[in-house]
Structure 1
Amino acid sequence: MELNFFGAAECVTGSCHMLRVGDKTILLDCGLYQGRDGEGDKNQNFGFNPADIDLMILSHAHIDHSGRIPLLYESGFKGDILCTKATMELCQVMLPDSGHIQEMDVAWKNKKLKRKGLEPIEPLYSLKSAEECLKLFKSYPYNEEIKPFDGLTIVFADAGHLLGSAIIELQVEEKGEAPVKLVYSGDLGNINIPLINDPTFIECADYVIMETTYGDKVHNNFQDVLKELANIVKETFERGGNVLIPSFAVGRTQEVIYALNTYFDEDMLKNLSVVVDSPLAEKATRIFENNREYFDAEAKEMEKHDNNILSFAGLKFTHSAEESMKLNEVQKGMVIISTSGMCDAGRIKHHLKHGLWRSENSIVFVGYQAEGTLGRQILDGNKMVKIFGEDISVAASIYNLQGLSGHADRNGLINWIDHMKIKPKRIFLVHGDVDAQKSFKELLDSKDYSSVVIKSGEKYKLGEN
């Protein structure tokens, strides 16, 4: 029984881990590297032969966990992909959208290459592959035992990070060996975030693969963050500007909509103009509305008094590129929620090009910004950034509301692992910047856990230590 690590090693994106059980090879996630994590040819090279994979298990739909599945399919993988129902439905809109982005980005780059007399490049994968790979998906509910083959039992537990996100519990039995329980945390959710349940506590595990995105940070109280957001909107409008919120189309956007609807007082909401500028976000919102069984108790209670908790009078979705461009003609009094969340692609780049240099505006980050992304450059205090080849001054007010993050903070992570009745033999730390991982490892060490910060390509025999 061997565990191999191929992604999200000393970085946040590109989750991809491999488990070998007897003559079977299982892949846990196959995510896209983003920002600086993906420099070079990291996204193109798996480090293994996709045709050798027998089974894939997907923790959740976010692109840094699912975004290379179409390439995996193009490269020879034809096995089943197991996940929850909501994860499958979200991937049905997210992966084709990613394939479309791959093709559009390459088409734009090829125009520039052609003018230079250089050879064109190919997209990482096609829209067609992104659509065809969906036939491999099979969905299951939480807490049901899944037995894809002898010697492996899988259970999905609610990770509290995104609609349908899962902690993956794997009970492995090889002939002549004692049973081993491996738990993959996926992305663990922040406590008390809108719509979604808190992460499930797992009773025990021999080995744990654990995310560490915010292993060195503590989030502010959620209610305090909402008050801050309300104040930001009020102050920005008073000085004649707009509020731009770069947001992931799936998960964070729906949580922000719910938060605005639920926590802003009626007088403020009555005069609030909120535009979600992302066709993908609208599709994802419809999927949220059709999967209410995943909502937390608070959201279900709210539905008794409000039959559409993901909508309010001042909320609008754009559809066409023309509608999106017209938003930049509005100089004040609007909240624009747009993708992508890290500002590296999508319509938010156009809004930042038109809005970053205006001191009246505010930019509010509500999710993680990976190293090397445009969002990270802005958040790090750069006074000038390059957007579509043009230098843009950063004069808008910049805010980072970590309390709206979908990731558990340092306290949430340690609380989750502390709830195990017996300490795991080993905790493998993935999905985090180096500083966050080192910091969290020090905390684990102080509590007598055995942990290791994973490097790409490392292998571990399970059951031997």
Structure 2
Amino acid sequence: MVMESVYGDRNHEDVEGRGKLLRRIIEETRNKNGTLLIPAFSLQRTQTLLFEINKMVEDKEIQPIDVYLDTPLGIRILDIYRKYPEHFNDRIKSRLDAGDDPFDFSGLTLTPKSSESRKIVREKNPKIIIAGSGMSHGGRIRAHEIEFLGDKKTTLLFVGYQSVGSLGRRLQDGQKRTRIDDEWVTVRADIRSITGYSAHKEMDQLIDFVEQTAPSLKEVFVVMGEPKSSLFLTQRLRDFLGVNAIAPESGASYFIDW
């Protein structure tokens, strides 16, 4: 077996837990009249965030706040979601049948054009900006980071894995001065993370997955993770399941006995 280990050394918040964290951060942003920046992957992550914020607004779990969906690709993918409602689960279908769009709510503004994106900075009300890319490699989030990271009232919230070397990872690790495009930015914003939105399996789920076929496994190669994560999961698999787990070294060769 060859398996990933992005979160091989830790577990996520559950759905309820991640929602509580997001709700708390939104309320903090509103209370300090600040800006919440969320770098988000255009597919799935963006739509999940909209769905959960929609629920918070409609259930009056949060006070009204402006939300800008500032990702052209994310907006196009959202259109695809709406075009094929037959693929939603029954709970979402029932809401659609009742005329409730789970991705639309009071305060939401879509900004597909760059001219619309540039106008967001003029808005002085508390606001949420969801933009790509998810690791701040590129996309419109970088312009917003240049604009808002120097403000103590800003919160930068990561809802996905940040790879080593990415701008997102440097910010997540606490870098206080960084270069974004051609500008140096002093970071005064509050940097937060919620891992519960990640599509990568958490530690317990990875172990459970291996356990299902453990009796028939000869070897488990633990890859696609940072060294500490891969090594931790490798040892866990050995200790808990008694399987021959290996964290391959770069450039090493292994003989696989079929």
- What is the TM-score normalised by the length of structure 1? 0.52
Partner of 1:217: 10
Partner of 1:398: 191
Residues 416, 288 of structure 1: alpha-carbon distance in 2 compared, 3 angstrom cutoff: farther
Partner of 1:353: 146
The residue identity in structure 1 corresponding to 2:200 is: H
Out of 45, 49, 55, the position equivalent to 1:256 is 49
Answering whether residue 244 of structure 2 is matched by residue 450 of structure 1, we say yes
Out of 325, 330, 334, the position equivalent to 2:118 is 325
CA contact (8 A) 1:270 1:314 kept: no
The residue identity in structure 2 corresponding to 1:449 is: V
Q: How big is the shift at 1:291?
A: 4.3
Give a deviation string over 1:376-432, Cα, whole Å, max 9, x none.
111111111111232211111111111222221111111222223734222222211
Q: How big is the shift at 1:461?
A: 5.0
Partner of 2:203: 410
Residues 303, 343 of structure 1: alpha-carbon distance in 2 compared, 3 angstrom cutoff: same
Residues 332, 396 of structure 1: alpha-carbon distance in 2 compared, 3 angstrom cutoff: farther
Higher helix share: 2
Partner of 1:229: 22
Residues 296, 422 of structure 1: alpha-carbon distance in 2 compared, 3 angstrom cutoff: farther
Helix, strand or coil at the partner of 2:215: coil
The residue identity in structure 2 corresponding to 1:453 is: A
Out of 211, 219, 233, the position equivalent to 1:440 is 233
Residues 379, 333 of structure 1: alpha-carbon distance in 2 compared, 3 angstrom cutoff: same
Helix, strand or coil at the partner of 1:337: strand
Q: How big is the shift at 1:268?
A: 5.1
CA contact (8 A) 1:278 1:347 kept: yes
Give a deviation string over 1:265-311, Cα, whole Å, max 9, x none.
53356723211101000111122334445544554455454542222
CA contact (8 A) 2:72 2:112 kept: yes
Q: How big is the shift at 1:435?
A: 0.9
CA contact (8 A) 1:213 1:433 kept: yes
Cα distance in 2 for residues equivalent to 1:415 and 1:378: 32
Cα distance in 2 for residues equivalent to 1:225 and 1:317: 24
Identity, % of aligned pairs?
Answer: 29
Partner of 2:73: 280
Residues 337, 353 of structure 1: alpha-carbon distance in 2 compared, 3 angstrom cutoff: same
CA contact (8 A) 1:230 1:264 kept: no
Residues 375, 244 of structure 1: alpha-carbon distance in 2 compared, 3 angstrom cutoff: same
Cα distance in 2 for residues equivalent to 1:215 and 1:393: 33
The residue identity in structure 1 corresponding to 2:41 is: F
Residues 339, 453 of structure 1: alpha-carbon distance in 2 compared, 3 angstrom cutoff: same
Helix, strand or coil at the partner of 1:274: strand
RMSD: 2.2
Helix, strand or coil at the partner of 2:3: strand
Give a deviation string over 1:295-341, Cα, whole Å, max 9, x none.
44554455454542222232221111111111122233111000011
Cα distance in 2 for residues equivalent to 1:259 and 1:278: 18
Q: Spell out the pairing of 1:140-155 with structure 2 (5 A cutoff).
A: none
Q: How big is the shift at 1:218?
A: 1.3
The residue identity in structure 2 corresponding to 1:448 is: G
CA contact (8 A) 1:242 1:333 kept: yes
| Matched length | 257
The residue identity in structure 1 corresponding to 2:178 is: V
> Which runs of no fewer than 5 residues in structure 1 stay unpaired?
1-207
Q: How big is the shift at 1:450?
A: 1.6
Residues 450, 288 of structure 1: alpha-carbon distance in 2 compared, 3 angstrom cutoff: farther
The residue identity in structure 2 corresponding to 1:454 is: P
Helix, strand or coil at the partner of 2:184: strand
Cα distance in 1 for residues equivalent to 2:213 and 2:87: 24
Residues 246, 448 of structure 1: alpha-carbon distance in 2 compared, 3 angstrom cutoff: same
Q: Which has the larger radius of gyration?
A: 1
> Which runs of no fewer than 5 residues in structure 2 stay unpaired?
none
CA contact (8 A) 2:219 2:246 kept: yes
The residue identity in structure 2 corresponding to 1:422 is: P
Answering whether residue 105 of structure 2 is matched by residue 312 of structure 1, we say yes
Partner of 1:146: none
Q: How big is the shift at 1:457?
A: 5.2
Higher strand share: 1
The residue identity in structure 2 corresponding to 1:230 is: R
Answering whether residue 169 of structure 2 is matched by residue 372 of structure 1, we say no
The residue identity in structure 1 corresponding to 2:229 is: A
Answering whether residue 171 of structure 2 is matched by residue 383 of structure 1, we say no
- Structure of higher RCO (CA pairs closer than 8 Å, 6+ residues apart): 2
The residue identity in structure 2 corresponding to 1:275 is: Y
